[in-house]
Amino acid sequence: MDPRALHALAELGARVRLEELLVEQALIVKAFPSLDTALPRRPAGGQGLRAPGPGQDRIGELLDAQTVRQRPTKTAAERAAISLRMKRYWRKRRAEG
């Protein structure tokens, strides 16, 4: 693959991942507003920083549209089965090693 094309694809992937991280950061701050003051602020005038990339201005839209995934809760029987399985697993590991 052409190095320039590879670099362009890598940059695109990095841009998408950065947008995901910004959305995740915004979700965390929304859940824990006190953390907003703990975040480092950008220098005045954006010295040394690039202009926001595409999509960064629509984080609010993404937050409103995004649903929080939750795992289904396990029944007591399921938790007991997992517990038993893990106990067997660790007993076997201790015996081997």
- Residue 92 is assigned to a structural domain of this protein: no
- Residue 43 is assigned to a structural domain of this protein: yes
**How many angstroms from the chain centroid is the CA of residue 40?**
19
Segments forming the whole domain that contains residue 51? 3-72
- Residue 86 is assigned to a structural domain of this protein: no
Angle at CA 6, nearest 5°, toward 3 and 11?
A: 125
Q: Report how far apart, in Å, the C-alpha atoms of 27 and of each of 31, 45, 62, 96 are.
A: 6, 26, 10, 44
Domain count, the chain: 1
- Residue 19 is assigned to a structural domain of this protein: yes
- Residue 78 is assigned to a structural domain of this protein: no
Give residue 81's identity as a one-letter amino acid code.
A
pLDDT for res 95: 94
- Of 14-28, 32-46, 51-65, the poorest mean pLDDT is in 51-65
Whether the full predicted model's pTM is greater than 0.85, yes or no, is no
CB atoms within 10 A of CB 26: 16
CB atoms within 10 A of CB 76: 7
Mean model confidence pLDDT for the chain: 78
